[in-house]
A and B are shown apart, each in its own frame.
Chain A
Amino acid sequence: MAIEIVQPSGVGLSKIAVSETHGENSPYFAGWKAYDENPYHEKDNPSGVIQMGLAENQVSFDLLEKYLESNQEAASWGKKVSGFKENALFQDYHGLLSFRKAMASFMEKVRGGKAKFDPERVVLTAGATAANELLTFILADPGDALLIPTPYYPGFDRDLRWRTGVEIVPIHCESSNNFQITPEALESAYDHATSMNMKVRGVLITNPSNPLGATVQRKVLEEILDFVTRKNIHLVSDEIYSGSVFHSHEFISIAEILESRNHQDSERCHIVYSLSKDLGLPGFRVGTVYSYNDQVVTTARRMSSFTLISSQTQLLLATMLSDSEFTEKYIEINRERLRKRYETIVDGLKRAGIECLKGNAGLFCWMNLSPYLSENTKSGELEIWKTIMEEVRLNISPGSSCRCSEAGWFRVCFANMSEETLEVALLRLHEFMDTRRRERNMLSVL
């Protein structure tokens, strides 16, 4: 993607500051604008725009609130406030040991105990956004490339490239095999990068995938691991949605694959995690880099100075996540609620004549509107997207914003609203599709 440099007059800023790589001037922000100007509200604005472009998990707050009510000291430094001073002074980039232990243990629970995590390898960062950028700084130099399967989270364009100067080369995935990563696609991406004189430093996958809402199969993980080993490059597995898999046995973490291989060649592997999706706490900025490479751990820890987690927040979460009874129950109930939401939306869309990719995780579904495009192109996609925004008044994310190589796919979030609102959204979509079909039938008759 070309970096436009627009120098404002008079003041000299860096190239990074004036570049457009932060990506926030893309057309997709029109959707956000439409929502901000006319947000849906059950009572006050029932015909407003419903936000379905925000991958937030709002289905399990009651569980967290209940925990806080029964454990008030978790948020207030113990009954006597005497722990306040110690906590306020704690700025060690190793992070609170109790919190690292709690994170490691939580990550194990999310994986059903199928992999072990060492608290000494947990590096804390202010969110996964920071974790991904930090890893990129460590694994690649400016001008180098990371290979990322499409479609991918739009934020990567900024997070991985903006300040690092690293490039993203897409691994093209297709609907014909449910967008799974193939060895051919990997090789092709690698060759393409090399042909552009870029040194490939690694592959970055999101598992479960955003925006697909599906886990990566074991076979595919093995193939990817073999590929990065052959090419002697890194593998970053962003497992930020690992706790949102509807059926726990369906998620295979790269950690499990590594354990099954006795950690052979594991120093090229790194996992990113965060509590923003599974626990619904994006505001608390809790992310982590988990690396099997000692040098990466040491360097990441030092770099985390630029993005430490508030010790106040570390303490709160250390208490919460060390409570096994709470975490086990939470993980189970949260999964179940997400699964139900997913079924609701997929069924609702089906009744409206819309198919989705078969998903098993995440806070969104990957919806296929390609049969309804006026033309099978990006502009055809944006046209229907605009219609849905303006007429149906739903803000959803077009596949082109995720660099999908096929037009017509959309990411639709289902966990950031009430059940009632979801029903309203589905109803609107149903009516819209009905009307379109009737119009089309009428046209074909004329």
Chain B
Amino acid sequence: MLSTKVTCNSHGQDSSYFLGWEEYEKNPFDEVKNPNGIIQMGLAENQLSFDLLESWLQNNPHASSFKKPNTNHSIFKELALFQDYHGLPAFKNALVRFMSEIRGNTVTFDPNNLVLTAGATSANETLMFCLANPGDAFLIPTPYYPGFDRDLKWRTGAEIVPIQCSSLNGFRITKSALEEAYKQAEKQNLKVKGVLVTNPSNPLGTSLNLHELDLLVDFVSDKNIHLVSDEIYSGTVFNSPSFISIMDVLKNRNLMNTDVRKRVHIVYSLSKDLGLPGFRIGAIYSNDDCVVSAATKMSSFGLVSSQTQYLLSEILSDKTFTKTYLSENRRRLKQRHEMLIKGLQKAGIRCLQSNAGLFCWVDMRHLLSSDTFEGELELWEKIVYEVGLNISPGSSCHCSEPGWFRVCFANMSEETLILAMQRVKSFVESMVKKNNFQSRHQQLLNRNSRRTKSLPKWVFSLSFDQREVGADER
């Protein structure tokens, strides 16, 4: 009765993974009302700098009242009627300037090459519709944002082939990994249309280095394919090395007048840098007129509310504000990041060295009862139930090695983060004691049979979006 898109959606609906979210929903931590509840550390939200936005709003009430600044002139009707898929010019101008500022003004963006979409979720899907036919493949380095399985494949019919990255070199992209992924796609009879990277990376929290960027440019050049750079976290780079945009690389290698430049596309959004995921502000930037043209028309299916475009055009046009915001936001992220790292260190847990993002990529391999994904699942369940933290297991990000977890640090108060670290410390101490008395074999026997049988499909599943909470948990 319904399309195949409905029934294929049932992949990955095994209960195990959603346990964490369900448990959190049932028992959410609250400093006052529920201090023993589960702390949400699986949600990549930036809650650190709302006060800056709130004070701007208080000083600039016109922006949310449909009025022009310094006058009482209402533009409500104008905005209410504005549904032009080219977007509000003032907003696009302000947004490209902001994108430039984030990149230290080393690159400039042409607002005519920018397409607005209802969030990066929509931007990524739209780009896939433009670049790939059903059955074509995009190569994506692992670990990657679980939402890509839905966003890039569900309605488009495109496929994802992983570029396997390894902890041995800090999960950096290598030439052989790229070539291997391409070969794998060929083996599966999939036509590769491009590579998609997230830079800075989710879940790694690292920005791509020059070597990786050069490799990518060489690779897509050589294979004559596209390169999509999802730079949604570009404003969260809080430590050196500073962010290198793919546009920088093209410029510095004198590739600005070549075909390659036309095959490079950037995705951006204000959901992470400004902490405004509810406002659905995303964008595609492309140097290919055909892509811009097609994507613009497609954006009809997911336009940004003109009310919101106006508000953000006012905020982002305020250069004094954006300068302060960007530097203060970075400073606060850096501080939180350090807190998390130090807290985990005290528990004997290391993280991948990172310079960006709203999370750390945490190495808990030494805490696994077995070097398997089952072991990872077991540990994860313990962390949810016994420690009371909802964190994201690496297998959900298609990591090829078990034992890594993404832990968010910017979506809670400082006090809550400190508490979470204390819980981790206690847990590790108790685990160390337990391990001294139990053999691995016995641990396997003691495991709940339900969990042994489950070898969850979701571990290898392709689709991820069944959480009934419905939030995008980048």
Contact = CB atoms under 8 A, between A and B. Distances in A.
Taking each of B125, B304, B470, which has the highest tally of chain A beta carbons within 10 Å of its own beta carbon?
Answer: B470
A137 B5 contact: yes
A114 interface: no
Contacts of A82: 54
B465 A138 contact: no
B305 A65 contact: no
B83 A310 contact: no
B266 interface: no
B79 A13 contact: no
B321 to A, nearest CB: 15
A90 B469 CA distance: 11
Interface string B250-286: 0000000001001100000001000111111000000
Nearest to A8: B290
A283 B294 contact: no
A283 B280 contact: no
A310 B259 contact: no
B470 A11 contact: no
A24 interface: yes
B290 A13 contact: yes
Given A81-B57, A88-B278, A283-B79, A17 B302 contact: no
Contacts of A137: 3, 5, 155
A138 B2 contact: yes
B308 A163 contact: no
Interface in B49-94: 50, 53-54, 57-58, 61, 64-66, 74, 76-77, 79-83
Contact of A313 (B134, B151, B300, B305): B305
A12 B291 CA distance: 10
Nearest to B465: A302
B263 A11 contact: yes
B301 A130 contact: yes
A68 interface: yes
Interface stretch (A71-79, A209-217, A406-414): A71-79
Given A61-B77, A92-B471, A306-B125, A284 B294 contact: no
Contact of A284 (B3, B121, B297, B306): B306
B445 interface: no
Contact of A13 (B119, B131, B259, B280): B131
A24 B50 CA distance: 42
A70 to B, nearest CB: 13
A307 B76 contact: no
B49 to A, nearest CB: 10
Nearest to A12: B193
Interface string A295-317: 11001011101111111110010
B77 A65 contact: yes
Contact of A308 (B4, B119, B297): B119
A127 B76 contact: no
Nearest to A90: B278
Contacts of A220: none
Given A283-B82, A306-B302, A17 B278 contact: no
Taking each of B125, B262, B271, B471, which has the highest tally of chain A beta carbons within 10 Å of its own beta carbon?
Answer: B471
Interface string B360-403: 00000000000000000000000000000000000000000000
Contacts of B118: 126, 285, 306-308, 310
Contacts of A58: 77, 81
Nearest to A315: B278
Interface string A6-41: 001011111111100010100000000000000000
A333 interface: no
Give the size category of B's interface with A. 35 or more
B129 A310 contact: no
Interface string B290-323: 1100100110111111111001000000000000
A68 B277 contact: no
Interface string B206-238: 000000000000000000111000000000000
A302 B311 CA distance: 27
B219 to A, nearest CB: 16
Interface in B118-176: 118-119, 121-122, 125, 129-134, 136, 150-151, 154-155
B303 A88 contact: no
Nearest to B61: A76
A141 B3 CA distance: 5
Contacts of B53: 84, 88
Taking each of A14, A77, A280, A281, which has the highest tally of chain B beta carbons within 10 Å of its own beta carbon?
Answer: A14
A196 interface: no
A62 B179 CA distance: 62
Interface string A70-105: 001001110001101101111111100000000000
Contacts of A303: 154-155
A252 B294 CA distance: 38
A88 B130 contact: no
B129 A163 contact: yes
Contact of A285 (B57, B150, B224, B305): B305
B66 A68 contact: yes
A439 B210 CA distance: 76
A24 B297 CA distance: 9
A22 B293 CA distance: 11
Contact of A305 (B66, B121, B291): B121
B279 A311 contact: yes
A81 B3 contact: no
A201 B5 CA distance: 14
Nearest to B88: A283
Given A91-B278, A139-B2, A139-B3, A126 B303 contact: yes
Contacts of A381: none
A326 to B, nearest CB: 15
A140 interface: yes
Interface string A131-167: 0010001111110100000000000001100110000
A375 B171 CA distance: 71
Contacts of B133: 14-16
A56 interface: yes
B294 A18 contact: yes
B4 to A, nearest CB: 6
Nearest 8 CB-CB pairs, A to B?
A311-B278, A283-B306, A310-B305, A93-B470, A17-B294, A283-B82, A307-B302, A91-B277
Interface of B: 1-6, 9, 45, 47, 50, 53-54, 57-58, 61, 64-66, 74, 76-77, 79-83, 118-119, 121-122, 125, 129-134, 136, 150-151, 154-155, 193, 224-226, 259, 262-263, 271, 275-280, 288, 290-291, 294, 297-298, 300-308, 311, 465-466, 469-472
Given A280-B81, A307-B302, 9 more contacts: A11-B288, A13-B290, A75-B66, A91-B472, A138-B6, A268-B1, A283-B80, A299-B6, A305-B121
